[in-house]
Amino acid sequence: MFVTPYGNHSIQSIIMTNTFKIFLCGIFLFCLSCESGISDLDKILEDPKPNPGVESRSGNSNQANTPIYSNSELIVLFDSSLTPAQKNALRIFHGVLNYEVCQLCPDESIEKWFFGGPINIEPKRQAIESSGGVVDVDYEFDFTTIMGDISPGSIDDTSYEDFIVSSNSGVTIAVLDTGFDPFFPFCYMDDGVTPFPIMYNADDTEVYDETSGWNFVDYHHNAFDDHNGKHGTAVSRCISQPLQNDSIPHQILPLKICDEDGVTSYFKFICATRYAFERADIIQMSLGWYDDGFGDFENTIFQLLTDAHRKVIVVCSAGNDTSDNDGEKHYPSSYENNNVIAVASTNSSSSDISDFSNWGATSVDFFAVGELIPFYHYDHTLISPLLEGTSFAAPQIASQVAKYLHSNPDLNATGIKNQLSSDGLVIPELYENKCFYDRYFSILVD
d(CA 224, CA 238): 18
Contact (Cβ atoms closer than 8 angstroms) between residue 7 and residue 215: no
User: pLDDT tens digits, the chain, 446 residues: what are they?
Assistant: 333 333 333 434 333 333 344 344 444 444 444 433 333 333 322 333 334 443 433 334 455 678 999 999 999 999 999 999 999 999 999 999 999 999 888 778 999 999 999 999 999 999 999 988 999 999 999 999 876 667 666 677 788 999 999 999 999 999 999 999 999 999 999 999 999 999 999 999 999 889 999 999 999 999 999 998 899 999 999 999 999 999 999 999 999 999 999 999 999 999 999 999 999 999 999 999 998 877 678 789 999 999 999 999 999 999 999 999 999 999 999 999 999 999 999 999 999 999 999 999 999 999 999 999 999 998 899 988 899 999 999 999 999 999 999 999 999 999 999 999 999 999 999 999 999 999 999 986 77
**The pLDDT of residue 295:** 65
Q: Which residues contact 187 (CB under 8 A, 6 or more apart)?
A: 163, 195, 196, 198
Contact (Cβ atoms closer than 8 angstroms) between residue 390 and residue 342: no
Its pTM stands at 0.87
Q: How many CB atoms lie within 10 A of CB 431?
A: 19
Q: Which residues contact 142 (CB under 8 A, 6 or more apart)?
A: 67, 68, 70, 263, 264, 265, 266
**The pLDDT of residue 60:** 42
Domain 161-441 matching CATH 3.40.50.200: the answer reads: yes
CA atoms within 13 A on the CB side of 45: 3
**The pLDDT of residue 8:** 34
Provide the pairing of β-strand 134-144 with 68-78.
antiparallel
Q: How many CB atoms lie within 10 A of CB 44?
A: 15
Q: Where in the chain is the domain with CATH 3.40.50.200?
A: 161-441
